[in-house]
Structure 1
Amino acid sequence: MLCFSGLSVALALALLPSTINALKDGECEVCVGFLGRFYQSLKDNDAQFTNEAIEKALIKACKDAKGKENRLCYYIGATSDAATKITNEVSKPMSYHVPVEKICEKLKKKDSQICELKYDKQVDLSTVDLKKLKVKDLKKILEEWGESCKGCVEKSDFIRKINELMPKYAPNAAKARTEL
Structure 2
Amino acid sequence: MNSFYYILFLVYLVPTVMSVKEVTKENCEVCVTVLDKFVASLKSEDKADQKKVHSELMKFCKNLKKTENRFCYYVGGLEESATSILGEITKRVTWGVPSEKICQQLTRKDSQICELKYEKQIDLTKVNFKKLKVKDLKKILSDWEEQCKGCTEKSDFVSRIKELMPTYAPDAAKALKERDEL
TM-score normalised according to structure 1 size: 0.83
| 1:79-112 deviation digits (Å, cap 9, x = unpaired) | 1211111111111101111100001111111111
Aligned: 1:169 with 2:139: no
| 1:112-151 deviation digits (Å, cap 9, x = unpaired) | 1111000011111011011111111111111111222222
1:48 corresponds to which letter in structure 2?
D
Aligned: 1:72 with 2:71: yes
1:21-40 to 2 correspondence within 5 Å? 21-23=21-23, 26-40=26-40
In the alignment, the residues of structure 1 paired with residue 19 and residue 174 of structure 2 have an alpha-carbon distance, to the nearest angstrom, of: 46
Q: Show the counterpart of 2:13.
A: none
TM-score normalised according to structure 2 size: 0.82
Q: Show the counterpart of 1:15.
A: none
Structure in which a larger fraction of residues adopt helix:
2
Question: What RMSD over aligned residues (CA atoms) do the two structures have, in Å?
Answer: 1.9
- Report deviation, 1:46: 4.0
Cα separation, partners in 2 of 1:135 and 1:73, compared to 1, 3 Å: same
Runs of at least 5 residues in structure 1 that lack an aligned partner in the other structure: 1-5, 7-17
Q: For this pair of structures, how many residues does the alignment match?
A: 162
In the alignment, the residues of structure 2 paired with residue 176 and residue 122 of structure 1 have an alpha-carbon distance, to the nearest angstrom, of: 17
In the alignment, the residues of structure 2 paired with residue 41 and residue 106 of structure 1 have an alpha-carbon distance, to the nearest angstrom, of: 22
Runs of at least 5 residues in structure 2 that lack an aligned partner in the other structure: 1-5, 7-17
In the alignment, the residues of structure 1 paired with residue 38 and residue 75 of structure 2 have an alpha-carbon distance, to the nearest angstrom, of: 14
1:54 corresponds to which letter in structure 2?
V
In the alignment, the residues of structure 1 paired with residue 94 and residue 178 of structure 2 have an alpha-carbon distance, to the nearest angstrom, of: 48
- Percent identity of the aligned residues? 52
In the alignment, the residues of structure 2 paired with residue 39 and residue 25 of structure 1 have an alpha-carbon distance, to the nearest angstrom, of: 15
In the alignment, the residues of structure 1 paired with residue 24 and residue 57 of structure 2 have an alpha-carbon distance, to the nearest angstrom, of: 25
Runs of 4+ off more than 4 Å: none
1:37 corresponds to which letter in structure 2?
K
